[in-house]
Amino acid sequence: MSPFQTFAARLIRSVSLSAQTKHLEFEVAAVPRFGFVAGQWLSFKTNKPDGEEITRAYSLASPPGDDNRFALCLNRVQDGFMSNFLCDMKDGEDISCQGPFGDFILRPPMHDTVFIATGTGIAPFRSMLHWLLADPARHQDKQLCLLFGNRTEKDIYYHEEFLELASQHTNFHYLPTLSRGADDWQGLRGYVQAHMIAIIQGRTEMHAYICGLDKMIKANRELLKGLGWDRKSILYEKYD
Least distance (Å) between residue 76 CB and ligand FAD: 7
Instruction: Decide whether 4 or 186 has the Cβ nearer to ligand FAD.
Output: 4
Minimum gap (Å) between residue 75 Cβ and ligand FAD = 5
- Which residue, 7 or 41, has its beta carbon nearer to ligand FAD? 41
* Sheet of strand 69-75, all strands in order from the earlier edge strand to the far edge: 53-59, 41-47, 94-101, 6-18, 21-28, 69-75
Residue 107: CB minimum distance to ligand FAD, A: 17
CB of residue 99 to ligand FAD, shortest distance in Å: 10
User: How distant is the alpha carbon of residue 116 from its chain centre?
Assistant: 10
CA distance 26 to 10: 5
DSSP E strands, the chain: 6-18, 21-28, 41-47, 53-59, 69-75, 94-101, 113-118, 144-150, 172-178, 188-189, 207-212, 234-238
DSSP one-letter string for 104-168? -SPPSSP--EEEEEEGGGGHHHHHHHHHHHT-HHHHTT--EEEEEEESSGGG-TTHHHHHHHHHH
Contact residues for ligand FAD, defined by CB under 6 A: 41, 56-59, 72-75, 77, 79-84, 120, 123, 237, 239-240
**Residue least distant from ligand FAD (Cβ):** 80
Shortest Cβ 139–ligand FAD spacing (Å): 23
Q: Which is nearer to ligand FAD, 65 or 80 (CB)?
A: 80
Contacts of 94 (CB under 8 A, 6+ apart): 8, 9, 10, 11
Q: Are 117 and 159 in contact (CB under 8 A)?
A: no
Output 126 or 139, the one with its CB closest to ligand FAD.
126
CA distance 106 to 207: 10
**Min CB(85)–ligand FAD separation in Å:** 8
Cis peptide before 64 (omega within 30 of 0): no
CB of 238 to ligand FAD, least distance (A): 6
